[in-house]
Amino acid sequence: MMFSGDAQPLFRQKIPDHSIHGVHVYFPDPWWKKRHHKRRIMNESFLTDVVRVLVPDGLRLHFWTDVKEYFDLSVELIHQSFPQLQGPLSVAEKPAEHEMDFRTHFERRTRLHNEAVYRSEFVRS
């Protein structure tokens, strides 16, 4: 099933505990200005809900971004506040088989410009 919209209220209000096998966060808005960082999806409230909804024992949170600072801050937050998420596990970049073989527009643009994509997976224990 796929949803379009703000993930935070969806997770908080609609998704039952231990009911999701994987959460994929690909290229979230980095909210560049310091005063807007509070709007970033990779925050303590959202990650609390991710841990709550993930089925225990081996199910995953996937997080990819093209913003190193956002990646580093998110990984640090997970390390400090969510010991039940083991990682980050590296995710190999697979070669694109054709022009549209990318998860998102942002991945396509970034990779076609030979820029870095920071990928990680975390396993819920």
Tokens of 52: 């709550």
DSSP letters of 81-113? H-TTEEEEEP-PPPPPSSTT-SSSHHHHHHHHT
75, burial (CB in 10 Å: exposed 0-12, middle 13-18, buried 19+): middle
Active-site hit among 6, 17, 29, 101: 29
CA atoms within 13 A on the CB side of 60: 14
Tokens encoding 45 = 């409230």
Residue 57 among the catalytic residues: no
Both tokens of 116, joined, read 């870095």
Do 84 and 124 meet the contact criterion of CB atoms below 8 Å apart?
yes
| Active site (catalytic) residues | 29
